[in-house]
Chains A and B, each alone.
Chain A
Amino acid sequence: MFNITNKNIVITGGSSGIGRQIAIDCCKMGAKVLIVGRDTNRLSDTKNTILSSGGYICTIEADLTSSESIELVTEQAISEFGHVDGIVHAAGISTTLPFRSISQSKFDNFIYTNVFSAIFLTKNLLKKGNFDDNGGSIIFFTSVMAHLGESGKTIYGLTKGALLAASKSLAIEYAPRKIRFNCISPGVVQTPMVMKQDYAQSEENLSKIRALHPMGIGKPEDISPAVIFLLSDSSSWITGTELVIDGGYSAR
């Protein structure tokens, strides 16, 4: 039912964690995928995994915190595909940092990595001729932390809240072009990024995190099907909304 065959999808953060799983599943579903990442080895590992099962994938190593890199990614996407049908912004960084420890450099790093990259890559890819004339789907990865609070999550949560807010106005602005904007807001998902966090360094702390999720900590495979749905034409009347996928974290 959820058909994404031959859709051209750009996935940021596509070489690791949730983004990697989305890339693998999109290719399995017949989409053509360009993944953007910062680590050459992880990019080629993901590429080889997908190629071994016959998928269509290309990669580009880029740090999306610079305008120049965003230009390069846009150029590669268009030269590879001709036009883009969907973007998944899965790239991002996380931290648990007390408010008193937030410096301007940390603030800037989070804003550029989590917000600037998604907004300006989207802006570039939306230029006339880059996106399919029949519309498309853009997905921002936000977080339950865009709605709810936890100590030390100010800097992370504010970047996710910014994307969530942006998606609403973008949904309205681009509805005439049938380009849809939606957000996926996961709870804690077991990814390399999460497992590097301080709270994942002891079984005691991980147990506390698990206890906050009635259905346990998520896996990348728990998130990917929702992305496929939002990329497909089955969700063609869904825009400006958010799918919270958190194993019940926010149901309390």
Chain B
Amino acid sequence: MEDTAKKFLEAFQEALEVEGKVIKFEDKFREYEEWNSLARLSLIAMLDEHFGVQIQTADFDKLQTVGELFQAVQTKV
């Protein structure tokens, strides 16, 4: 669990190109200044590439926090 969480946060940070910020599970990632349509596609691609998780657009759009996203990965891995 801990390893997966660490791997997830690193991949998340890389996908969103977030620098100089500590990512927390309670963060609302759509409120990050880095958030835009490309960041969204990058995040969806990361879930597929790193975790083999193919998430439906409608389901993805309901997720608000980093923790919810991680939870979605956990349940689908």
Contacts and interface: CB of A to CB of B under 8 A. Distances in A.
A151 B14 CA distance: 18
Contact of B41 (A103, A106, A152, A202): A152
Contacts of A106: 45, 49
Chain A contact residues, majority secondary structure: loop
Interface residues on A, range: 10 to 19
B56 to A, nearest CB: 9
Point out which of A96, A98, A105, A106 has the most chain B C-beta atoms below 10 A from its C-beta: A98
Nearest to B57: A201
B65 interface: no
Given A100-B15, A101-B46, A103-B49, A201 B58 contact: yes
Interface string A186-212: 000000000000100110000000000
Contacts of B17: 100
Point out which of B39, B42, B45, B46 has the most chain A C-beta atoms below 10 A from its C-beta: B45
Contact of A97 (B14, B39, B45, B58): B45
Contact of A101 (B37, B49, B57, B58): B49
A152 B37 CA distance: 10
Given A100-B17, A198-B57, A152 B49 contact: no
20 contacts: A97-B41, A97-B45, A98-B38, A98-B41, A98-B45, A100-B14, A100-B15, A100-B17, A101-B15, A101-B41, A101-B42, A101-B46, A101-B49, A105-B49, A106-B45, A151-B37, A152-B38, A198-B41, A198-B44, A201-B57
Interface of B: 14-15, 17, 37-39, 41-42, 44-46, 49, 57-58
